[in-house]
Amino acid sequence: MTSVGAAETDRRPIGVFDSGVGGLSVLIELRRLLPAEDLVYFADSGHCPYGLRPAAEIQALSVQAGEFLRAQGAKALVVACNTASAAGLDPLRARHEPEVPVIGLVPAVKPAVALTRSGVIGVLATPGTLRGALLRDVIAQWATPVGVRVVCDPGAGLVAAVEADQRDAPATHAILRAALGLMQAAGVDVVVLGCTHYPFLRLRIAAMAGPGVQTVDSGQGVARHTARRLAEAGRLQPGAAPGRVRFYTSGDPAAVGAVMGHLLGEAVRCESWQ
């Protein structure tokens, strides 16, 4: 693949993948910050959710997604999945860097610690993220030294609810009530949305938790980091004309595309990755 110098325009797309549609919350931030960039989004809905899978399988799926996006010409890979970031960043970076930057997600514990007044924060994340070293590391780096307590809950079933476009279903509300009730009983006043699916539940979480509880996620931070990495490599696409987005999935393109359209509020044409 031809390298691109700092003085040239790099029209190749940014590749983004998630276990399903949740990474669209990151795609939204990328489009907002880098409107001229073309994007390729891959939803691995055929293997969603990743959270209950063993780490070795998550790594293999992440490598497969990375190879697909490289085949689409991606100039950078954004791992818009907390579970895949917790398990799969090292093999992706070993295969693609330094030629292609690999940007992963870090649970937003640092901003949550800065915001808390009660000294207790919550982390709503999948089992794969909760058992990974990445979350333990950021808690040890940012929360533990200042005495902030962290209460974690997997929100079991929430990923499937977003994938099925069941955000307002009674069962989804019941899962949220249980998770938030546990956190509020512990004194949590900031909730980290540690799965990219969960920002699509932000309004429901805010309504249930009340005005005394804030939510934070990693979407804006990932977009800013992606912009920095591309700028350093001279790969940013200048201009004001909006870039285009191509959508692919390993699941049913019609069904996944319909959910994508509801989440993004626009018509989406989703294609099969094969």
- Is the model's pLDDT at 120 over the cut of 80? yes
Rounded distance between C-alpha atoms, residue 88 and residue 95, angstroms? 11
Residue 7 lies in a domain: no
101 touches 69 (CB < 8 A): no
Residue 2 lies in a domain: no
Same domain, 74 and 128: no
Domain hosting 129: range is 109-217
pLDDT level of residue 6 (50, 70, 90 thresholds): very low
Same domain, 141 and 158: yes
211 touches 183 (CB < 8 A): no
Residue 136 lies in a domain: yes
Same domain, 147 and 198: yes
Catalogue the active-site residues.
81, 195
Q: What are the pLDDT digits (tens) for 25-53?
A: 999 999 999 999 999 999 999 999 998 89
- Segment 47-62 shows an average pLDDT of 92
Find all residues with CB under 8 Å of 259, minimum gap 6, and list them.
21, 162, 163, 164, 165
Same domain, 261 and 130: no
Same domain, 126 and 224: no
Same domain, 174 and 265: no
74 touches 62 (CB < 8 A): no
* Mean pLDDT for the chain overall: 93
Residue 240 φ then ψ, to 5°: -105, -15
27, HSE (Cβ side, Cα atoms, 13 Å): 27
- Segment 5-16 shows an average pLDDT of 75
Same domain, 187 and 232: no
Rg (CA), the chain: 18
Same domain, 113 and 160: yes
- Is the model's pLDDT at 85 over the cut of 60? yes
Same domain, 188 and 262: no
Tokens of 154: 């997997």
Same domain, 253 and 158: no
C-alpha 271, offset from chain centre: 21
Last residue of a domain, one of 217, 233, 249: 217
Last residue of a domain, one of 217, 239, 258: 217
Find all residues with CB under 8 Å of 189, minimum gap 6, and list them.
115, 116, 117, 118, 120, 121, 212, 213, 214
Same domain, 37 and 96: yes
Same domain, 79 and 146: no
Q: What are the pLDDT digits (tens) for 87-109?
A: 879 899 999 999 999 999 999 99
Q: What are the pLDDT digits (tens) for 183-240?
A: 999 999 999 999 999 999 999 999 999 999 999 999 999 999 999 999 999 999 887 7
Q: How many domains does the chain have?
A: 2
Residue 3 lies in a domain: no
Last residue of a domain, one of 202, 217, 232: 217
CATH of the domain at 122: 3.40.50.1860
